[in-house]
Chains A and B, each alone.
Chain A
């Protein structure tokens, strides 16, 4: 069993009691809710005549079904409108803070928490969405939960959990030019498998991780779940504190910042912490990673050959064969040159300001290839506004990208942004499952955001390291 890790410490800090079921009753410091998974839970609460126990520790947004083109009400899709109305009513009744689209603060739940500063080190954070692991980038203990558990949290402010093991993943060295956080996590999932993290919480550490900005750290923690781990975290440090100091929570309240900092420091994993497992990855060796298949674990370095199914472990061969048929890729070849129809720069993995800034440098002065439908969907209204002020929107639009409003959009195709037929999509999102982007014949290739815009410009998957970037004034 692990000892002295951030996970152990935050777990202990939040333990209320042991339950007769053998689980631990854990206090929840922040409950994030959105329109798709919360309504049923509110319904159950009403059925039992219960109230929201800690509305002040709950925060709502809309992201999954919100249209990213025309956002005027009522929404074109009746079901979307109904879900939105339901959420509005629920939060009003319970007195829950709501970053709604008229507030200028709306966005993907995993983008707005960190940007408003409510995501903090040493908090327990839950949300009815599997990518809640994102918030671990700040040293929070953050998990996705199911509908009955949302009801538990609404009614009691707590969650019943069993403690998990901790695996430390140490990424040493320095990432090369053109290699991003997204490549690190795709490589981790490729090596450890999509189920490698089952039963574990991942602690990401090492020089290459410490040198990442917060956006990069979030990209990594975000995809912990694709690696089978329900949570992933990074110990808070100066980079974390610099981000926090600028957020709504602290910018006008430096006293609060100073008051909480010792707590944040205290929950860092001890030097001599004990882990259930340790894995080391050499960051110097990494190159941009793209997926060739239909699970996030089916990835390969951009210059490396797509593996032959028979060279993979026995239990992976069958899915690999089916995936290669679906994707129409040939073992032995690289993914470079794979033609695309759509480029999607968005999602809670990679639609933050730093992602858009880096991508824009590459786009400036270039054009999206003929026949490619390319779109940028900022992760939040704040990202959108800031990007527009900095001129990033113009750069993208001049190059032929469409610029959308904030939301999940084509990450899961629950609104009007969807793949059609067998379109191939270079995507900065996190899941390449068949049907994920709205078409059962659609083909998704996951990659880092600069690789996405590079593919948009070339019309096919390309090695971003071979493209020069232009400085954005």
Chain B
């Protein structure tokens, strides 16, 4: 899966699922604010959904992300308005670092979806019945593979293939491999250097 100029295209994500049920799950639940006074996103994975997963005394609560059978999941199946609330980039960072590569849900908050895109994580949507059916299937088949086809806008699990929706701009960015502005701009490094040298005030170290 390598796109032009070293930016991976994300036309396809494949892996086992984890169901996270509930509407309006906000970014404060995904990553509580007290974990934000950190110098790197590196360790955020362990804090994903922390207050849902652990008691005050750190004992584990009942939560899918604590279950052995879901611990290698890479496709999160959620309900509506997932990721609402503050715009913190820490939220998708935490999910990604926990292991999530794609989200399937009824709907996503706009800024959250945008932040996911900046990390190359697709957020695909389907109607409530489809999502509920998928969540039930994941419960019964924790080792079953879910194929999220971003380009074809389908999700396949077991013998079932369903149509899903991917926002146009998101699909283009992921499929064409232009979602990563860092890589995109880095591929123009020579032109950048020439631009720098042409500016009267710039003196570069050699």
Interface set of A (CB-CB < 8 Å, partner B): 13-17, 19-21, 23, 25, 27, 29, 39-40, 42-44, 47-48, 50, 53-57, 79, 82-83, 86, 120, 122-123, 146-149, 151-152, 155-158, 160, 259-260, 263
Contact = CB atoms under 8 A, between A and B. Distances in A.
A40 B178 contact: no
A157 B196 contact: yes
Interface string B25-53: 00000000000011111100000000000
B118 A148 contact: yes
Contact of B184 (A19, A50, A55): A19
Nearest to A27: B195
B178, B196, B203 — most chain A CB neighbours (10 Å): B196
B192 A146 contact: no
Size band of the interface chain B makes with A: 20 to 34
Contact of A40 (B41, B173, B204): B41
B68 to A, nearest CB: 28
Given A57-B202, A147-B89, A16 B188 contact: yes
20 contacts: A13-B199, A14-B195, A16-B185, A16-B188, A16-B191, A16-B192, A20-B178, A25-B185, A29-B199, A39-B39, A40-B40, A43-B40, A54-B196, A148-B118, A152-B185, A158-B185, A160-B184, A160-B185, A260-B200, A263-B201
A47 B183 CA distance: 13
A40 B88 CA distance: 12
Nearest to A121: B201
A83 B191 contact: no
Nearest to B179: A21
Nearest to B93: A40
Contact of A27 (B38, B196, B200): B196
B184 A20 contact: yes
Contacts of A122: 201
A86 B39 CA distance: 7
B167 to A, nearest CB: 14
Contacts of A160: 181, 184-185
Nearest to A249: B201
A44 B186 CA distance: 15
Contact of A21 (B89, B173, B192, B195): B173
Contacts of A260: 200-201
Contacts of B186: 50, 155-156
A179 B1 CA distance: 62
Contacts of A149: 181
A21 B196 contact: no
B40, B42, B185, B188 — most chain A CB neighbours (10 Å): B185
Contact of A79 (B37, B173, B189, B201): B37
B118, B199, B201, B205 — most chain A CB neighbours (10 Å): B201
Contacts of B41: 40, 43-44
Nearest to A23: B181
Given A54-B196, A156-B185, 12 more contacts: A16-B185, A17-B191, A25-B192, A43-B40, A54-B204, A148-B182, A151-B182, A152-B185, A155-B185, A156-B186, A156-B192, A260-B200
* SS class, residues of chain B in contact with chain A: loop
B133 to A, nearest CB: 35
Nearest to A86: B39
A82 B39 contact: yes
Contact of B182 (A20, A43, A55, A156): A156
Nearest to B205: A56
Given A16-B192, A54-B204, A156-B186, A27 B199 contact: yes
**6 nearest A-B pairs in the assembled complex, by CB-CB distance:** A43-B40, A39-B39, A86-B39, A156-B185, A160-B181, A20-B178
A217 B37 CA distance: 33
A147 B188 CA distance: 21
Contacts of A16: 185, 188, 191-192, 195
Nearest to A79: B37
B176 interface: yes
Given A21-B178, A148-B118, A157 B39 contact: no
A263 B89 contact: no
A55 to B, nearest CB: 8
A29 to B, nearest CB: 6
A156 B118 CA distance: 16
A43 B42 contact: yes
Contacts of A86: 39-40
Contacts of B191: 16-17
A315 to B, nearest CB: 20
Contact of B40 (A39, A56, A152, A259): A39
Contacts of B199: 13-14, 27, 29
A45 to B, nearest CB: 9
Contacts of B204: 54, 56
Contacts of A156: 182, 185-186, 188-189, 192
B200 to A, nearest CB: 5
A152 B181 contact: yes
Interface in B144-195: 173, 176, 178, 181-182, 184-186, 188-189, 191-192, 195
Contacts of B38: 39-40
Contacts of B201: 29, 120, 122-123, 260, 263
A83 B178 contact: no
A22 B202 CA distance: 27
Contacts of B188: 16-17, 25, 156, 158
